[in-house]
Chain A
Amino acid sequence: MTTVAPRGRAARAQGPGGAPTRGRARGWRIDRRYLPVVGTLVVLALILVVGGARYDNFLSVGVLANLFINNSFLIVLAVGMTFVILTGGIDLSVGAVLALSSVTAAYLLNAGLPAGVVVPLVVLIGSVIGLLIGAMVHVFEVQPFIATLAGMFFARGLCFLIAPESIPITDETFVALAGWDTWVAGQWRVTSSVVIALVVVAVAFYLLHYTQFGRTVYAIGGGEASARLMGLPVTRTKVLVYVISGTCAGLGGLLFAMFSRSGYSLTGVAMELDAIAAVVIGGTILTGGTGFVLGSVLGALVLGLIQTIITFEGTLSSWWTKIVIGGLLLVFVVLQRLLAVRRT
């Protein structure tokens, strides 16, 4: 799984005078920017191998297909989060926005509104909250951490205002949409939520690599002042990344409602942290500027696989998931640090 866009061959480009005495004639041909993603891929493969060796049926098509189905909303959140983190920001509101979106969906469907209205509406809720956060970050120059923290409390509070207890979803159209699935290659089950998640990934990839907006996201992460001096639309881009992240959270809420067939105000607590973990494990650096959306997808899958392993183990507490994720995060951050140090 390599990216198509600006493919580089840094090793070759060092040229004849590139200070050979410092022993930089290392053998790898992979662009150094892809190394963290390759690392994630290796971890993913390792987990698959270990799981496959320990448990029967672990490497079955069904388990892998379920990996995508169960983590579709996390993938969507991680995609949105990637945009924000690439600019050097952070979005803590996505878990709460996801909950707000799913609770609203359940509430409105229960109230009898048609799914055709509710589905776009709940996604839009995410966009609007993202826009508000973006405006706060830009106009009032609030730290993204604080602005999105405020957004998180705001959205979570609204959830309880709408419905403190779980609302089951019975709307026929919605249930039909959630239940739609197809079988790829005969055995690989693909649900509507997986299709939506993959479309989101594809759109994000396109935006980041083939549009000026996407490249501006990277440029801002490399240095906001520089991006301004390059004449890039920094303001618009910075607001837009929060809109995208909010929209992804709204969409994630929809997927979660489809997944659970209900809306509950306590869903998605701390899910923003899972999304951030997925992005970081996927090789995106928290200070911004480097990383790939496909890395974040891999990161989300790693988190999902760890969960699967612990389920297969049976006797282990599910909190082991958190411990393993914590350890992985540490390893990846240190790895990135080493790469950054070597670069300078």
Chain B
Amino acid sequence: MSSRTDRAAPVVEMYGITVERGGVRVLDDVDLTLHPGEVHAIMGENGAGKSTLIGALTGTVPIVSGDVLVDGAARTPTSVAQSRAEGIATVFQESHLSPHLTVAENVMIGHEVRRWFGIDWAANRERASAALATLGIEDVDPRTPLAALSPATKQLVAVARAIVLEPRVLVLDEPTSSLDAAEAARLLGVVRRLRDQGVAVLFVSHFLEQVFEVSDRMTVLRGGRVVAEYRTAEVERAELISKMIGEDIDALQALHSQRLAHHYAGSGEATLRATSIGRRGSLEPTDVDLARGEVVGFAGLRGSGRTELARLMSGVERADRGELWLDGARVQLRSPGAALRYRIAMSSENVREDGIVAGLTVRENIVLALQALRGWSRPLSRGEQDAVVDTYLDALHLSRDDLDRPAGELSGGTQQKVLVARLLATRPHVLILDEPTRGIDIAAKLDIQRRVARLAGEGVAVVFISSQLEEVVRLSDRIVVLKDREKIGELSNGPGVTVDTIVEMIAADLDELAPGDDDGAGAADGAGGRDVT
């Protein structure tokens, strides 16, 4: 259709878009123009209004005022179905697929190939397979129920659903959040190809590098307003980041040097000691010591066993070998609740599924663990609740207005903060944080990292797990490196330790194995196997 001129007429124009939620302006007078053959990124921290803007375009969020034009004609977005009919396909941030339907159905439902007798399943499977093949997951059987797939594959199926219609406008909200590097690269390749075919792409991602790699232009949102618009080629990263968080970027550096300055030498007295702890099929026997006031990073690739180790140490999963010693006494953790009674707390990497109770208010979510610890027969009074909640309000930058909102309404970053607040309310001696910064913006990340550093300063033994190794290096006093469900070494952090040190350690270990050994989480995910973590 439209030949790729330098600047074709815009396909979508949004002017003065204002959206309110619960009386609060979440989008204020936002303009956005999408041109064919361009990848347009929306940048901003959590709560900046990125997903809301997408909702306004696709009709899932009602607009208070403002105009939406498609091909120059005004219209009111009312539903996803309508926007699809106009050629706007969306991959939403939250999962929007049906677990019980097959992969082919998830890709094709709503626009199935039909013949005189009804849905032609063979034809649908064929079209779905073709779309899956473009995304590099052609080895997924389209007849598999979606529930059997890994999060990464599900995310790619969602993308397949969007591109199978050959849309004119493709909206991608955090499409790479569960993908590994190879999968993400392939997806970005597909995005680029679609752009070259004249598709207008709206791209939202927390991964700065991906945005720089794939986008042509970017709009920066902060607090529901447009604060800047750039051509990607002309923007400095540092400038972009400071626009996004609206405060001094040097804070990041400062935190790092602070950590280095107070670097904890390790008294040698472990508060939590795991000896030969392991579980058949998930972790080889491993020794780990945690000392008070120390941040221990677990570093490793996805599936390396870092999550498994954390789960065994916090009673989420039961070890079938090895022993746990807490302050010199042997303990058995039969459940996370038992661990809490020993003041060992863990936050899961999967906030939405394992952590936050979406239907309870923020206040209730925060006091949940404390209440469980006290026993349900002795409810916390409102006054006690307030005392607990108030302690963490400022520390976590939660707003008082948010307290009585259902936690499910909050952005991912805020939910993560609520979860951390819940754990802190139990005043843990050992705090295990599994990917506390995944999928959240820089400001919130910084906030959580600061918090971790302060906790260690207060004498808590902290375990910090992140797939972003620079974070692990920045925060940890000691780094436990895992690989293939096994601990392969331990580093005392210091000026000489960088991300490369850890990468080399993992890579060196890899070389010792027979080459061609069929490890590699990427292959497993691509084949639709379960996520190993």
Residues of A within 8 A of B (CB): 5-10, 12-19, 21-22, 32-33, 206, 209-212, 215-216, 218-219, 221-223, 225-233, 289-290, 343
B524 and chain A: residue at smallest CB distance: A17
Contacts A13-B148, A15-B139, A17-B525 given; does A222 touch B81 at CB 8 Å: no
Is B230 engaged at the interface, CB distance under 8 Å to the other chain? no
Tell me the smallest distance from the CB of A305 to a CB of chain B, in Å. 29
Residues of B within 8 Å of A229, CB to CB, are 60, 80, 90, 92, 94, 96
**Count of chain B residues near A, Cβ 8 A:** 48
Tell me the smallest distance from the CB of B91 to a CB of chain A, in Å. 10
Residues A18 and B530 in contact, CB atoms below 8 Å apart: yes
A19–B281 Cα distance when bound, in Å, is: 9
Residues of A within 8 Å of B99, CB to CB, are 222-223, 289
Residues B527 and A17 in contact, CB atoms below 8 Å apart: yes
B85 and chain A: residue at smallest CB distance: A231
Residues B80 and A16 in contact, CB atoms below 8 Å apart: no
Residues of A within 8 Å of B96, CB to CB, are 225-226, 229-230
Residues A232 and B109 in contact, CB atoms below 8 Å apart: yes
Residues A289 and B529 in contact, CB atoms below 8 Å apart: no
Is B186 engaged at the interface, CB distance under 8 Å to the other chain? no
Tell me the smallest distance from the CB of A273 to a CB of chain B, in Å. 25
Tell me the smallest distance from the CB of A142 to a CB of chain B, in Å. 19
Of the A-B pairs whose beta carbons lie under 8 Å apart in the complex, a sample of 11, sorted by A's number, is A13-B141, A13-B143, A15-B527, A17-B525, A211-B119, A212-B114, A218-B100, A226-B95, A228-B80, A229-B60, A229-B90
Most buried by B among A19, A221, A223, A229: A229
Q: Which of B83, B84, B90, B98 contacts A219 (CB 8 A)?
A: B98
Residues 501-533 of chain B, each 1 if its beta carbon lies under 8 Å from chain A, else 0: 000000000000000001010011111111010
Residues A6 and B104 in contact, CB atoms below 8 Å apart: yes
Residues A10 and B145 in contact, CB atoms below 8 Å apart: yes
Q: Which of B94, B147, B281, B529 contacts A14 (CB 8 A)?
A: B529
A212 and chain B: residue at smallest CB distance: B112
Residues B529 and A15 in contact, CB atoms below 8 Å apart: yes
Residues A227 and B529 in contact, CB atoms below 8 Å apart: no
Q: Which of B79, B118, B144 contacts A8 (CB 8 A)?
A: B144
Q: What are the nearest 3 A-B pairs in CB distance?
A: A17-B524, A15-B527, A210-B118
Residues of B within 8 Å of A6, CB to CB, are 102, 104-105, 121, 143
Q: Which of A17, A19, A218, A230 contacts B80 (CB 8 A)?
A: A230
Contacts A17-B523, A210-B118, A212-B109 given; does A222 touch B148 at CB 8 Å: no
Tell me the smallest distance from the CB of A143 to a CB of chain B, in Å. 15
A241–B141 Cα distance when bound, in Å, is: 31
A344 and chain B: residue at smallest CB distance: B147
A33 and chain B: residue at smallest CB distance: B145
Residues B143 and A9 in contact, CB atoms below 8 Å apart: yes
Residues A5 and B121 in contact, CB atoms below 8 Å apart: yes
Contacts A18-B529, A210-B119 given; does A230 touch B144 at CB 8 Å: no
Residues B524 and A19 in contact, CB atoms below 8 Å apart: yes
Residues of B within 8 Å of A211, CB to CB, are 118-119
Residues A230 and B98 in contact, CB atoms below 8 Å apart: yes
Residues of A within 8 Å of B114, CB to CB, are 212
Residues of A within 8 Å of B83, CB to CB, are 231
Most buried by A among B94, B100, B144: B100
